[in-house]
Amino acid sequence: MTTVIADRVAMEIAGDSRITDESTGLFFRSKKVFLLSSGEAVGISGSIPDAMKFLEWYESGCDGENHPDFTSEKFDALVLDKNGSLFSWDSHLVPSRIEDEFFAIGSGALAAMGAMHMGATATQAVLVAAKLDRNTDEKVVCVRPNKKSGDLEDF
């Protein structure tokens, strides 16, 4: 899976870049943290094809009548808007508002949350998860919703 963590106070989402091909066990890198044209930051975890269908649906306005058909029900997404509101989404397409200062998804979520509780930044938290979770990579991308579209920071 992956590790994606959103920090409402620092206004950022950080995530690793490892994709695991479950049929072969091979790893490759791909983008899992995005800055939408609306200025919202989104991080995805789980089934990448389904998460990308969600991302396209979300960015096109969340049309309830034209929702995506998912091949599995194994994806999660975190959406952080420019006001610091954080929402968790899954294949049911019903957002859950998260009031905590930070929240993580993916196989490295617990390690990342523990690191955040100890004062780590979102990027540092993903790097801690990478030390403990074989499905999390040390190539981290961090996106802040207040930045201009396409202005990503690689660490």
Sketch the domain layout of the chain as residue ranges.
4-148
Q: What is the pTM of this model?
A: 0.88
What lies within 8 Å, CB to CB, of 22 at 6+ separation is: none
pLDDT of residue 150: 43
Low-confidence residues of the chain: pLDDT under 50:
148-155
User: What is the CATH number assigned to the segment(s) 4-148?
Assistant: 3.60.20.10
pLDDT of residue 147: 52
What digits encode the pLDDT tens for the residues 113-127?
999 999 999 999 999
pLDDT of residue 48: 85
